[in-house]
């Protein structure tokens, strides 16, 4: 064999090896980092939910002039199983501010369904938080749960209203134990997408689960409300397949009568499993997007009895209980994840049920731009919230 042929084979073999090593490196890198020791704690059996376990200073992404702490606290999952969760508490030290200081509970949108996906572990933990600077300037306290299962041991209650709400409400309870702050019980809950779903469910659950909190209002931006309709409209799209994988994992982990292999059809099972182990955040999202777009076609869900049971559980998690406070719903007409038509239908139903709903539609906004720093929703959100704290009667604006 000529020498140049041997050399060519060696070069080609080396290049193939480098490509394989690169692919393997990207594959391993795309998994979320393991949560550190802060997120672990021994909890006494008699410890109730909403108890502060520990806190530490937090600086990543904190706006200039603000101070933040990350907290670990006790909570419960759907059905009351004990769990822990973490949250960020942030404020701007200000002189001559009235005490106690009012609380904004922020519920973030979809970041994943696995430990390591919590907002406080992301490179930009305050991404997609609307009106953050204005919130801090008002003297309000920002409290944002990571939700159970995203920095602590799972399961994560993705689009499971009862579980999401417990994580959100218990973050507020635990924040009251911080010695650095004097917090008011007056609270307004904000949320986007999954977080909008969590915010609405927090309003439904607050009176029975955390009656000491005085929830003055709920502001939901493009909230995930009619879950069966959202799944039906998006499940065959790449992003929809990612969200479907998160939901399949969470519902299988939460409901005893559901199981992952029953929810997901065999041809999509390994892809859905790998997607559910990754986050929908930062550059690592390239791998779940690749799995959802190149290696999967159509919906990941299977039919049959388990598939029907899964969709029935989705319907049970529509936030259609008594909300207990005025609600602001901000929705983009160009939203291709949570459609404006679906959202208007939900708002009409809640209006007809006697809820105080202020529904506002924005012609030029979509699912992401509705929480952009320059979006017109920010000033509206702050003004509406201030009116709730001031005790001004909330307007009722129902879609036609």
Q: pLDDT at position 13, please?
A: 63
- 29 pLDDT higher than 80: no
Residues 198 and 337 in one domain: yes
Is residue 217 classed exposed, middle or buried when 0-12, 13-18 and 19+ CB atoms within 10 A define those classes? buried
Q: pLDDT at position 306, please?
A: 75
pLDDT in tens, 329-345: 999 999 999 999 999 99
Q: Is residue 232 part of a domain?
A: yes
- 33 pLDDT higher than 80: yes
pLDDT in tens, 367-391: 999 999 999 999 999 999 999 999 9
What end-to-end distance do the CA atoms of the chain give, in Å?
80
- 23 pLDDT higher than 90: no
Mean pLDDT within 29-37? 89
Dihedral, CA atoms, 86, 91, 97, 98, nearest 10 degrees? Answer: -20
Residues 278 and 289 in one domain: yes
% of the chain beyond a pLDDT of 70:
93
Q: Is residue 7 part of a domain?
A: no
Q: Is residue 15 part of a domain?
A: no
Reported as a pLDDT band with limits 50, 70 and 90, residue 5 is low
Last residue of a domain, one of 258, 288, 315: 315
- 72 pLDDT higher than 80: yes
Q: Is residue 12 part of a domain?
A: no
Residues 239 and 217 in one domain: no
Last residue of a domain, one of 270, 289, 315: 315
pLDDT in tens, 229-282: 999 999 999 999 999 999 999 999 999 999 999 999 999 999 999 999 999 988
Reported as a pLDDT band with limits 50, 70 and 90, residue 6 is low
Q: pLDDT at position 20, please?
A: 58
Residues 118 and 264 in one domain: no
Q: List CB contacts of 392: < 8 A, sequence separation 6 or more.
A: none
Mean pLDDT within 103-123? 97
Residues 287 and 348 in one domain: no
Residues 236 and 156 in one domain: no
Which residue's entry shows tokens 């990754």?
Answer: 278
Residue pair 193/166 in contact by the 8 Å Cβ criterion = no
Tokens matching residue 389: 């704290």
Q: List CB contacts of 57: < 8 A, sequence separation 6 or more.
A: 68, 69, 70
Dihedral, CA atoms, 288, 289, 292, 295, nearest 10 degrees? Answer: -90
Structurally, how many domains does the chain consist of?
2
- 149 pLDDT higher than 60: yes
pLDDT in tens, 208-234: 999 999 999 999 999 999 999 999 999
Residue 290: domain span: 228-315
Reported as a pLDDT band with limits 50, 70 and 90, residue 100 is very high
Closest CA to 234 of 129, 312, 314, 122: 314
Residues 97 and 206 in one domain: yes
Among 129-138, 289-298, 322-331, 355-364, where is mean pLDDT lowest?
Answer: 289-298
Mean pLDDT within 181-195? 97
Reported as a pLDDT band with limits 50, 70 and 90, residue 309 is very high
Residues 200 and 262 in one domain: no
Residue pair 108/143 in contact by the 8 Å Cβ criterion = no
**345: domain CATH number?**
3.40.50.1820
Residues 160 and 190 in one domain: yes
pLDDT in tens, 115-129: 999 999 999 999 999
Q: pLDDT at position 134, please?
A: 97
């Amino acid at each position: 064999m000529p020498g140049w042929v041997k050399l060519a084979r060696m070069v080609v073999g080396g290049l193939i090896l480098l490509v394989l090593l690169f692919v393997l490196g990207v594959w391993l890198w795309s998994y979320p980092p393991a949560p550190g020791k802060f997120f672990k704690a021994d909890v006494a059996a008699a410890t109730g939910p909403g108890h502060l376990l520990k806190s530490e200073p937090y600086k990543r992404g904190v706006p200039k002039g603000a101070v933040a702490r990350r907290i670990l606290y006790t909570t419960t999952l759907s059905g009351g199983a004990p769990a822990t969760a973490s949250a960020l508490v942030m404020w701007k030290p200000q002189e001559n501010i009235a005490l106690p200081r009012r609380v904004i509970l922020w519920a973030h949108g979809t970041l994943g369904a696995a430990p390591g996906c919590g907002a406080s572990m992301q490179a930009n933990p305050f991404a997609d938080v609307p009106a953050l600077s204005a919130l801090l300037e008002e003297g309000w306290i920002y409290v944002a749960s990571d939700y159970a299962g995203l920095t602590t041991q799972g399961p994560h209650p993705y689009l499971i209203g009862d579980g999401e709400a417990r994580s959100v409400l218990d973050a507020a309870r635990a924040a009251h134990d911080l010695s650095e702050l004097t917090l008011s019980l007056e609270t307004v809950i904000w949320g986007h997408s999954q977080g909008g779903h969590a915010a609405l469910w927090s309003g439904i659950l607050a009176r029975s689960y955390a009656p000491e909190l005085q929830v003055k209002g709920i502001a939901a931006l493009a909230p995930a409300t009619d879950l069966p309709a959202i799944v039906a409209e998006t499940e065959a799209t790449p992003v929809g397949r990612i969200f479907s994988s998160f939901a399949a994992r969470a519902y299988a982990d939460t409901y005893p009568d559901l199981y992952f292999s029953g929810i997901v059809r065999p041809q999509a099972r390994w892809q859905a499993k790998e997607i559910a182990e990754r986050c929908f955040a930062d550059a690592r999202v390239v791998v779940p997007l690749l799995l959802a777009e190149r290696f999967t076609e159509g919906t990941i869900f299977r039919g049959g009895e388990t598939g029907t049971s899964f969709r029935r559980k989705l319907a049970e998690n529509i936030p259609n209980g008594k909300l207990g406070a005025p609600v602001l719903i901000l929705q983009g007409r160009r939203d291709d994840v949570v459609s404006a038509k679906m959202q208007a239908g939900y708002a009409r139903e809640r209006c007809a049920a006697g809820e105080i709903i202020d529904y506002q539609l924005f012609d030029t906004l979509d699912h992401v731009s509705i929480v952009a720093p320059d979006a017109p929703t920010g000033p509206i959100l702050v003004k509406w919230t201030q009116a709730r704290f001031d005790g001004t009667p909330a307007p009722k604006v129902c879609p036609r």
